[in-house]
Amino acid sequence: MSGNTSPAPHDASPTTRVGEIVALVVAALLQLVVGFFTWSSGLVAPLWAIALLGLLWVAAVVVLVRLARRRPLATPAVPVVNGLLWWGLLTAGERLLGWTA
């Protein structure tokens, strides 16, 4: 029997664990909101652009799940970046390619 009573490196205090869970829930809800806007962009963008945005959304979900296992407190950044990409691509499409609602 060893005298080592130090916690495992991945053990966290209850406060940290609650913060991680809150961050994950917020990130998941924000990603769903971004998904709604992504999949309803057909009013502005052509089908090929919706398919591209959809692939970006799915890739962001994969990144979100992988990040949730490693750094859960960083997960809210994923839907924020995904939303900014969505907005930027639609804005560029409107200005450069003439997409209109």
Whether residue 8 is contained in a domain is answered as no
Residues 9-41 have pLDDT tens digits of: 555 677 778 889 999 999 999 999 999 999 999
Whether residue 10 is contained in a domain is answered as no
Whether residue 86 is contained in a domain is answered as yes
Whether residue 25 is contained in a domain is answered as yes
Whether residue 46 is contained in a domain is answered as yes
Residues 27-82 have pLDDT tens digits of: 999 999 999 999 999 889 999 999 999 999 999 999 999 999 999 999 999 999 99
Structural domain count of the chain: 1
Which sign does the torsion angle of CA 67, 71, 73, 77 carry?
negative
Q: Which domain holds residue 83?
A: 16-97
User: What pTM does this model have?
Assistant: 0.79
Whether residue 29 is contained in a domain is answered as yes
